[in-house]
Structure 1
Amino acid sequence: MDGVVVFDGDDPNELADAPTSFVIGSGGERRAVDAAACADRSTVTREYTIRCATGERTTASWTGVPVTDLLDIVDAPAETTHFRVESEDGYAICVPVADALDGVVAFEGDGEQLRETRPYALRFLAGDIDGERLVKGIHRIDLLSLPADADPDRYETVTLDNPEYE
């Protein structure tokens, strides 16, 4: 897939010239992905209605890399149970992979580059996940294989969302 760069480490700043980059990992494998570089080949545009904690609903078209393609990038094992998404400021969610499968890592909203209209360049969206859990300013994605009795909330940090992110 175009836009995929293999590197050692977990700092997307190694791709500093690509503000739409993030790291995805599964087990010991890590890859840096520049979502916008995939624009010609591996992107989709999907409409999502975001349900904010305030009760407000907003519908928009979002363009980005499908979660299913991200799973292929790191050859996600069949045992993968959860999709953990972390923002640049440490805000992180951990959702069942089944809930994330219709999702995208978006770099455009309603045809506009996020990095040009927002204080962040990437956003995770998926249909069955509440708005306050749709991570903005993505830095890292981890694919986890959690045992059935594990508490996915232990892999979350949901109190740090950057106040500049609308």
Structure 2
Amino acid sequence: MSDQFDTLDRSHVAGDAGGDLRALAERHGLDTLDRETACSSGEPIEGRWRGVPLSALLDAADPEATHLVVEAADGFRVCVPVADALFGILAVERLDAPDEGLPRLVVPSVDGPRMAKHVRRLDTERLPPGTEPETLERLAPDSE
């Protein structure tokens, strides 16, 4: 595991799975995920990531939750259906290249520009039918 892992302890998960990222990794282990995505320029990017499986974190969450809300340190926020998040990880390491954005959301169905980086919080939400998940998102970082 990279030395950067020491800086990730501020990431938290709401609910019973809560805790710092190091403790979550020790409790749930780490999975590896190969992911091809397109960056915001449209160029394809292949990546090999290692991280805490979101399925393990969601096991302890509200069983009626419909979405996972992922918030970055800069306020960027995405809302991912739980059914999609189950196949992803909260990456703590990129195995094939350096990455300055850890921890990072890596989910096969989430486009590159929505792969939140510097994740600081994960929450589950129960959205009523007809509610647009985008109402919980903030796709531009907070300005300072």
TM-score range, shorter chain: 0.7 to 0.9
CA shift, 1:105, in A, is 0.4
Residue aligned with 2:120, SS = strand
Partner residue, 2:64: 79
Please point out which of 27, 45, 54 is paired with 2:41.
Answer: 54
Within 2, Cα distance between the matches of 1:111 and 1:40?
Answer: 25
Please point out which of 59, 63, 67 is paired with 2:54.
Answer: 67
Within 1, Cα distance between the matches of 2:37 and 2:24?
Answer: 26
CA shift, 1:38, in A, is 2.1
Gapped runs of 5+ residues in structure 1? 1-16
Within 1, Cα distance between the matches of 2:116 and 2:38?
Answer: 13
**Root-mean-square deviation (CA), in Å?**
2.5
Work out whether residues 36 and 46 of structure 2, in 8 Å CA contact, stay in contact via their aligned partners in 1: yes
Partner residue, 1:141: 122
| More helix by percentage | 2
TM-score by length of 2: 0.84
Residue aligned with 1:69, SS = helix
CA gap 1:36/1:20 in 2 versus in 1, 3 angstroms: farther
Q: Within 5 Å, which residues of 2 pair with 1:77-116?
A: 77-110=62-95
Gapped runs of 5+ residues in structure 2? none
Q: What number of residue pairs does the alignment pair up?
A: 138
Q: State the identity %.
A: 31
TM-score by length of 1: 0.73
CA shift, 1:46, in A, is 1.2
